[in-house]
Amino acid sequence: MPALHSSPNSSHPFTTTLPVTDYSTTTHTNSTLNPAANFVNDVLNKIPLPRWAIYAIFAVGALLILICCLCICCKCCCKGNKKKRQKKNEKINLNEVNGKTTTALVQPDVADVGYGSTKQHRGKLLYSLDYNGAQSELTVGIKQADGLKSMDLGGSSDPYVKVYTCPEKSKIFETKVFRHTLNPAFNERFSFQISKSSLLKSTVVMQIFDFNRFSKHNIIGELRVELCNVDWNHVMEEWQDLAEPAKFEEENLGDICFSLRYVPTASKLTLVVLEAKGLKSMDTGGSSDPYVKVQLALDKRKWKKRKTSIKKKTLNPYYNESFTFDVSFDQIQRVHLVISVWDHDAVSRNDAMGKIFLGCDASGNQLRHWADMLSNPRRPVAQWHSLLSAEQVNSTLTLKRKIPLQSKRPF
Ligand SMILES: [Ca+2]
Ligand SMILES: [Ca+2]
């Protein structure tokens, strides 16, 4: 008999066999009535407790389950109410904002999102446009981006936005870099001086880049808004999906890498020109003979200059040449460092291939490098920079004549 074997007291079969025989007689009549009841009885009989105790345990268990169910129901109801209340509050806040400014907030339609999914996903940008006719001032607000494409190995990006107008491209603004995020909140505004007549012929370009300390910054996507299509009666604010960058317009002049080191106690500024890549070909045969000119300006006056050696017939020269200048701590705040790449020509005039400048009033990547150098005294800080056209840099930074020789001493 299985009941006997399962019993812990197999040496005293009388104590365990008694309830088994009892059970077989009581359930014999029930089994014919209902097999389910028969099974339940079978189970109950196997439990070595009096029936009233088993029923009491069942009752307490059922009561506990009932209480648990009631608690869960209550919680769910409370959450639902909270969400409803929050939604109500949001609605009220939005209405308040909309009441103050005539903002048209446009979310991309579901249909648009579906259409965009066939293209490469780059994320979207919330921007605003406002034109002040009396002051001929266009204000571009870069608010936030969402769901940006990841460009770095860790599945994230370090986004910043470049803003300029076409075709003038007189000023190029950049937002701060937001490290390791695909949903940055930039909240920056940039102003451009544009007359009413040229406003309608202009296009605002907003490009989101991924910042990289030691390699070229990659473009994530861009928006181009033709200003003739904008309704200027109210502030325009909208989300737009980022598009693939238009390659035709971006003139690539190559990149240059150099390190900067400033030692305040010794009043020494050291620049190491490391290398350049992807330079423009200036000579017949598709090559150039590049060298780098380094110029220091003090209070926007030409001050000191040096040059690297010439690297013949290459678009990717490697220099690793170091230059040290005496610059006191007082002067470093008023200094501009102008770096330009030139193509050497034996017979004709040398041509400028690209230029950038650094200093306390530089912008974007150049300002970042300068600030990193100042905040890390005695430590060399290396960084890549995209070269700009010499005309563009000259229009932003106009240097006056050279500082006369006799006035060099007192500095
Ligand atoms: Ca990056
Ligand atoms: Ca040449």
Do 270 and 390 sit in the same domain of this protein?
yes
Greater pLDDT, 296 or 54: 296
Do 164 and 207 sit in the same domain of this protein?
yes
DSSP track, 4-16: HHH-S-TT-HHHH
pLDDT of 173 over the 60 cut: yes
Do 290 and 363 sit in the same domain of this protein?
yes
Among residues 189, 215, 241, the one where a domain terminates is 241
How far is the centre of ligand 1, averaged over its atoms, from the C-alpha of 12 (Å)?
Answer: 79
Strand locations in 98-245, DSSP E? 104-106, 124-132, 137-146, 159-166, 173-174, 185-193, 203-210, 218-226, 236-241
Q: Is residue 150 part of a domain?
A: yes
Q: Is residue 86 part of a domain?
A: no
Q: Is residue 246 part of a domain?
A: no
For residue 301, the enclosing domain spans 255-408
How far is the centre of ligand 1, averaged over its atoms, from the C-alpha of 151 (Å)?
Answer: 6
How far is the centre of ligand 2, averaged over its atoms, from the C-alpha of 290 (Å)?
Answer: 7
Among residues 183, 215, 241, the one where a domain terminates is 241
Among residues 185, 207, 241, the one where a domain terminates is 241
Do 233 and 336 sit in the same domain of this protein?
no
Compute how many other C-beta atoms are within 10 angstroms of the C-beta atom of residue 38: 15
Q: Is residue 84 part of a domain?
A: no
How far is the centre of ligand 2, averaged over its atoms, from the C-alpha of 340 (Å)?
Answer: 15
Do 150 and 234 sit in the same domain of this protein?
yes
Q: Is residue 294 part of a domain?
A: yes
Give the tens place of pLDDT for each residue, 115-127. 434 467 899 999 9
CA end-to-end distance (rounded Å), the chain: 111
Do 118 and 41 sit in the same domain of this protein?
no
Give the tens place of pLDDT for each residue, 72-118. 655 655 444 444 444 444 343 333 333 333 333 444 433 344 343 44
Note the ligand closest to the C-alpha atom of 347.
Answer: 2
Q: Is residue 88 part of a domain?
A: no
Report the pLDDT averaged over residues 387-400: 82
Do 201 and 341 sit in the same domain of this protein?
no
Q: Is residue 129 part of a domain?
A: yes
Q: Is residue 265 part of a domain?
A: yes
The per-residue pLDDT for 189 is 96
How far is the centre of ligand 2, averaged over its atoms, from the C-alpha of 270 (Å)?
Answer: 28
Note the ligand closest to the C-alpha atom of 151.
Answer: 1
Do 324 and 382 sit in the same domain of this protein?
yes
Whole-Å CA distances, 380 to 205, 268, 295, 321? 34, 12, 19, 14
Give the tens place of pLDDT for each residue, 286-316. 889 999 999 999 999 999 999 999 999 999 9
DSSP secondary structure letter of residue 408: G
Helix locations, 283-363, DSSP H: 329-332
The per-residue pLDDT for 382 is 95
Do 32 and 111 sit in the same domain of this protein?
no
Do 295 and 403 sit in the same domain of this protein?
yes
What total of structural domains would you count in the chain? 3
The CATH number covering residue 272 comes to: 2.60.40.150
Give the tens place of pLDDT for each residue, 231-263. 888 889 999 999 988 754 556 789 999 999 999
Note the ligand closest to the C-alpha atom of 213.
Answer: 1
Do 394 and 279 sit in the same domain of this protein?
yes
Give the tens place of pLDDT for each residue, 178-188. 999 999 999 99
How far is the centre of ligand 1, averaged over its atoms, from the C-alpha of 157 (Å)?
Answer: 5
Task: Say which amino acid occupies 17.
Answer: T
